[in-house]
Amino acid sequence: MRSRILIIEDDQSVSGMVSDYLASEEFQTDVFDSGEAAVRAFSGRQDYALVLIDLMLPDMSGMDVLRYIRRSSTVPIIIITAKDNDTDKSLGLNLGADDYVVKPFSLIELTARIKANIRRTTRYDSHPGEDMIRIRDLEINVTKYTVRVSGREPDLTRTEFEILCLLASHPGQAFSKERLYELIWKEPYFGNENVLNTHINRLRAKLKAASGRDTVYIKTLWGIGYKMEEE
């Protein structure tokens, strides 16, 4: 099913363009140029996969729309801001936005952010209440802590699973060893390279054994970072 995106932007040249591009990326879009109409549309249907909203709207502030949507929904929200200062960004994020882009933004980047945000929150109807991440032939059940690769289930430790889950929910994004270590072990990295390497190597070996192929899922970047390969 094609994901439906709610776009709230008063400049029609921008909304039209974003909408065209997203259509070419197999998204459905509903475009509104005022907060009032968007809020009404949002209350009307429950199937939006994501909301993209410009903070500067003619009738009501984008912040108000954001607040309204957050009162009843956990749908991912990306804000668009034309301001250079950080106040808008942090205010938006504090009000519950998940991500932001600053004008002028790249459509390629925006699309990547949209996909990542949708992927992070997608719930599949067949298993209500279960978070799944699907990437290439990996199926990661975030709720049950299980992974299926080409139909088989490798037996991963908790840490290995968390590493895989983190990288898979941000495909293509580079993580430095420092950041990865801090996010998984929740403590600062002091060159604990062996610990990280060992876990990554074991994880790779288990995925390889399960898939029976030499597919590179996790790529090492110049020896200083890792990323999940997108395809």
Partner 1 sequence: MAVWLGSLSLVLLAVYVRERIINRNLNKEVLYIRERLAALTEASGTRENGYVLVPSGNVGVRELSAQLNHLLETFYRQKAEYQCARQAMEQMLTNISHDLRTPLTVLKGYSELLLKEGKRGTSLPEFRDMAKKIDRKADELVRTIDEYFTMSKIESGDWKLVMRRVNVTQLCHELILDYYDVLEEAQYEVAIQVDDMPVYAYSDEEAVKRILKNMIDNAVRHGGSGKYLGIRLKYLADGIRIEVEDHGAGITAKDEEQIFSRNYTTARKGTGSGLGLTIARNLARQMGADIEVYSEPGIRTVFTLIL
Decide whether 96 or 225 has the Cβ nearer to partner 1: 225
Shortest distance, position 34 Cβ to partner 1, whole Å: 17
Interface contacts to partner 1, rule CB under 8 A:
11, 13-14, 17-18, 20-21, 24, 82-84, 103-108, 174-179, 188-191, 193, 221-225, 227
By the 8 A CB rule, do 62 and 79 touch? yes
Decide whether 128 or 188 has the Cβ nearer to partner 1: 188
Decide whether 142 or 166 has the Cβ nearer to partner 1: 166
Shortest distance, position 104 Cβ to partner 1, whole Å: 4
Decide whether 17 or 205 has the Cβ nearer to partner 1: 17
Question: Can you give 159-219 as a three-state secondary structure string?
Answer: HHHHHHHHHHCCCCCCEEHHHHHHHHHCCCCCCCHHHHHHHHHHHHHHHHHHHCCCCCCEE
Decide whether 89 or 148 has the Cβ nearer to partner 1: 89
Shortest distance, position 56 Cβ to partner 1, whole Å: 10
What is the pairing mode between strands 218-221 and 175-176? unpaired
Residue 203: how many CA atoms within 13 Å on its side-chain side?
24
Shortest distance, position 178 Cβ to partner 1, whole Å: 4
Interatomic CA distance for residues 166 and 68, integer angstroms: 30
By the 8 A CB rule, do 4 and 52 touch? no
Interatomic CA distance for residues 58 and 38, integer angstroms: 12
Shortest distance, position 38 Cβ to partner 1, whole Å: 19
Decide whether 129 or 223 has the Cβ nearer to partner 1: 223
Interatomic CA distance for residues 91 and 7, integer angstroms: 20
Helix/strand/coil percentages in the chain, nearest 5: 40, 20, 35
Whats the size of the chain, residue-wise? 231
Shortest distance, position 55 Cβ to partner 1, whole Å: 13
Q: How far is CA 225 from CA 9, 26, 56, 110, 113, in A?
A: 37, 32, 38, 24, 21
Shortest distance, position 231 Cβ to partner 1, whole Å: 14
Decide whether 72 or 176 has the Cβ nearer to partner 1: 176
